[in-house]
Amino acid sequence: MRPAPVVTVLLLAGLAVPFGLEAQEAPPRLAVSVGPDWLGEADVGGADATLTGAGGGRVDLFRTASTVTGGVGVGAAVGVRVAGGLWTELTARYHSARLATRITGDIEAADETAREALQQLHVDGGLLWLPEKLRLASRLQLFVAGGAGYLRQLHGTNTLAETGRSYYAGSGLIVSLPERQGGTFKASGVRLELRAAGSRGGVAFDDRLHVAPAIWASLFLRF
């Protein structure tokens, strides 16, 4: 009968939570964040232009190297608390991006960089974790985040849309502002997030995972 006391203790602990919460305001369950999002440059692969050589090998007409640069866009997230410091989030990020292909080694020295505008949307589902261990001070909290979702890129001429997969992993700092009593929201603050933004497919010229650095600064409200 040794396990019985352990089970009893756990049940009691579980029952204790609602009573404890009744003593103070319930913690926020919903969060909304919005702010500027900077997305750096990612290599997106690409083939070289080659001809069949007389000796059977390939002869370069020119070589290519392509990148997508997101630049400054906007990001927004809606989060729902799952338990403790764990939240689920739905994030959307939009960038007016640029696809650039550098042409080098042209057989007739016609090297050039060819560019094109893109509209780019990432929609991701993910987790945001704010463990108590990473609380630096009462209003400073470190967090980690990660997720995956959908990427849609529309070429500048609006004539062709391409889709792919989106991934991210990052961490950052939440600075909470002083709490308001009796307002429409329970907490507010600033969230600064550094992340690795991955994508596969879309306008990329190969099927590999491509990663760009990204920084998101947002204001959040918790309800």
Binding mask 43-62 for another protein (x = CB under 8 A): --xxxxxxxxxx-x--x-xx
Find the shortest distance in angstroms from Cβ 26 to another protein: 52
Tokens standing for 102? Answer: 């550098």
Please, what is the end-to-end C-alpha distance for the chain in angstroms?
Answer: 45
Element holding 38 (H helix, E strand): strand 30-43
Q: How far apart are CA 120 and CA 16, in angstroms?
A: 48
Q: Which stretch binds another protein (CB under 8 A): 31-39, 41-49, 86-94, 164-172?
A: 41-49
Quick check: 133 and 99 in contact, CB under 8 A? no
Q: Does position 160 bind another protein by CB under 8 A?
A: yes
Find the shortest distance in angstroms from Cβ 67 to another protein: 12
Q: Which of 155/200 has CB closer to another protein?
A: 155
Find the shortest distance in angstroms from Cβ 180 to another protein: 50
- Taking alpha carbons only, the member of 195, 190, 191, 129 closest to residue 166 is 195
Question: Looking at 24, 138, 159, 181, which residue binds another protein (CB under 8 A)?
Answer: 159
Beta strands in 109-160 (DSSP E): 112-129, 135-137, 140-155
Q: How far apart are CA 95 and CA 91, in angstroms?
A: 13
Q: Which stretch binds another protein (CB under 8 A): 22-30, 130-138, 154-162, 170-178?
A: 154-162
Find the shortest distance in angstroms from Cβ 45 to another protein: 8
Q: Which of 62/87 has CB closer to another protein?
A: 62
Tokens standing for 98? Answer: 């640029």
Find the shortest distance in angstroms from Cβ 214 to another protein: 23
Find the shortest distance in angstroms from Cβ 99 to another protein: 6
Q: How far apart are CA 214 and CA 72, in angstroms?
A: 10
Q: Map residue 157 onto helix, strand or coil.
A: coil
Q: How many residues does the chain have?
A: 223
Find the shortest distance in angstroms from Cβ 150 to another protein: 19
1: number of Cβ within 10 Å: 4
* Positions in 190-209 near another protein (CB under 8 A): 203, 205-206
Tokens standing for 149? Answer: 């979702």
* Positions in 1-20 near another protein (CB under 8 A): none
Q: Does position 114 bind another protein by CB under 8 A?
A: yes
List, in sequence order, every residue forming a beta bridge with 65; answer none if it has no partner.
Answer: 102
Which residues contact another protein (rule: CB under 8 A)?
45-54, 56, 59, 61-62, 64, 66, 99, 101, 103, 106-116, 155-157, 159-160, 162, 203, 205-206
